[in-house]
Amino acid sequence: MARRDYLNRVIEAYKERGAQARRSRRVGAPWLSILGGRMSEELLKRAIDKWGKRSQIDMMIEECAELIIALHKCTKRVFDPADTSARINDVCEELADVQLMLNQMRLLFGPKDIDDWYVVKTERLRNLLDGKPF
C-alpha cells in the first residue's frame, strides 16, 4: 500500500473518532473559550471585513514570524534577569497576537474542519505519548 493511501486512511479514521468523541462528550477546541462569545466573533469578522481575507492571512504570517523571533531570543543564554523577563513578556505579547489571528483564520477556513483536525491531532499526540501506533 502506498504511504499516501495509508496516511489518508489513518486521517479518515482519526476524523471519524474525533466526530464520535465530539458527539458523545461535546469536545471542543480550547480557543473557543478565548473568543468570549458572539461579541468577540463579531469583532473578528469586522477585522476581516475591513482589511480583507488576503491581508489578514498576510498578517497571520507576519505575527507567526514575530513569535518565532521572540521564542528564538528566549532560548539564548541571558544572565540578566530583567532581560529574561522582557523576553518572556515579548513571547506572551506575540502569543496573544498569534491567538487573535488564529481566531480570524478559524472564521476564514471553517471552524468545523479545524475542530475535526484538532481532535485528530490531539488523538495522535495522546497515542504518541502512550506509545501506541498512530
Selection from 95, 120, 117, 103 nearest residue 33 by Cα:
103
Q: Measuring CA to CA, how many Å separate 118 from each of 78, 121, 123?
A: 35, 5, 8
What does the pLDDT average to over 1-29? Answer: 58
For CA atoms 8, 14, 18, 21, the dihedral sign is: positive
Residue 8 has pLDDT above 60, yes or no: yes
- Under a CB-based contact definition with an 8 Å cutoff, are residues 110 and 104 in contact? no
> Is 0.75 topped by the overall pTM?
no
What's the DSSP call for residue 122? H
Cβ-contact 63, 71 below 8 angstroms: no
Taking 60 as the threshold, does the pLDDT of residue 116 lie above it? yes
